Amino acid sequence: MAYEVTINASGEMDAAEVSASTIGYSLPISRINQIVQTKLAEISDEDVYQARATISEVAELVHEVLSQSTPPGTADDWHNFAVDIARSDLYDLCCDIIEKGLEIFPKNTDLLADYLQYGISCGRIDRCKNHYKILSKIPKVRYTWRAYSFSVNWLQYLWERSDSEKELEKLQKDMQDLVIAFRNNMPEDEESYRCEADIFKLIHNRKEEERVLRLALTELKIAPKCALRLADILFDRGDYEDALIQIQRGINDANQTQASVNEGYLYYLLGLAKMAVVMRNGASFDEATANAIYENFDMALRMDKRAAYRKTMENKTKVVISKSSIPVDEKYEELAYLVQ
């Protein structure tokens, strides 16, 4: 089956069957990505057979495009296509797209790093090794944040599967060297701190992990990912007041930059921390506190309707209602619907 893309009367894209020789020559890769995403959006979680059919159709379309003349597009276009496909958990197809992109841009550090990230998820370990070898020989001054971060992730993957003490020491040193280069070349990027914290977590050094996260929050004006991670650590060990400070920092930082954290989760954690402070102190839920928790949970639901923590919010809200006798105001529409 082959496809031709047209714009229908309502301005939407349609994919119709045509001869195999027509697609690949006229459409840029960014437009092909749009077509594919339109088809993937048709998938319903309630119809497994329809989902499989659509995925099969998308895979056939993508492979036909990849097998023909190279569609016009930049390295960023190929990166975006791969990332969008990966969001649907189609990691094999994602890697096929990256491979085609690397035929055109063989030394692009984002594409090489992308392969490490997604190749692990579909078991293409030998190809990952080859791409990491190429990436590691490229001067670090050309690295993007993805090249650093995904390289560290790849080395962590190898570290977790090694039983050689000598190899473990080498992998740890390689990871630390990457972090040093990362911070030297991109001092304002919080990702280097997150990577370093990952290394300490890997070797079970939680004290150093926390130190690095606090350092990021001291050194950087905007570090929402580090704030959220530190807040999680503090909450899990019962430091609720400190967790509240870091959660608020994460929310404030997230408002000043492109979304790099799950803001819905931040508001969820904020509500939990407020609730935990009250209950640990043996205090009662006054109206202001109860409504503050309701507001946080409602915001979390508005930002992420598929949140895995919906049941927890429902149960915690019912606890607050029971202890305070304060119902959820209708203005907190999402939460009110959840607990009705």
Beta bridge mates, 14: 6
Residue numbers in the chain where pLDDT is lower than 50: 1-25
Q: Are residues 210 and 304 in the same domain?
A: no
108 in any annotated domain: yes
Continuous H helices in 160-304: 165-185, 191-202, 206-219, 224-236, 240-254, 263-280, 287-303
Q: Are residues 36 and 63 in the same domain?
A: yes
Alpha carbon distance 180, 152 (integer Å): 12
pLDDT at position 69 is 74
> Which residues make Cβ contacts (< 8 Å) with residue 307, sequence separation at least 6?
264, 265, 268, 300, 301, 313
Q: Are residues 39 and 78 in the same domain?
A: yes
Q: Are residues 65 and 101 in the same domain?
A: yes
pLDDT at position 277 is 96
pLDDT at position 9 is 38
11 in any annotated domain: no
Q: Are residues 133 and 183 in the same domain?
A: no
Question: What predicted TM-score, i.e. pTM, was given to this entire model?
Answer: 0.85
Q: Are residues 267 and 333 in the same domain?
A: yes
Q: Are residues 160 and 59 in the same domain?
A: no
Domain housing 334: 263-339
pLDDT at position 4 is 46
pLDDT at position 47 is 77
pLDDT at position 11 is 37
Closest CA to 181 of 140, 120, 123, 139: 140
Q: Are residues 121 and 33 in the same domain?
A: yes
253 in any annotated domain: no
244 in any annotated domain: no
Q: Are residues 279 and 201 in the same domain?
A: no
* Distance, first Cα to last Cα, the chain: 49
252 in any annotated domain: no
The amino acid that residue 237 corresponds to is R
3-state secondary structure of 17: strand
Tell me how far the alpha carbon of residue 175 is from its chain's centroid: 21
Q: What is the pLDDT of residues 155-173, one digit of tens each?
A: 999 999 999 999 999 999 9
Q: Are residues 186 and 125 in the same domain?
A: no
Closest CA to 78 of 95, 63, 60, 90: 95
Alpha carbon distance 157, 117 (integer Å): 10
> What is the total count of domains within the chain?
3
pLDDT at position 2 is 44
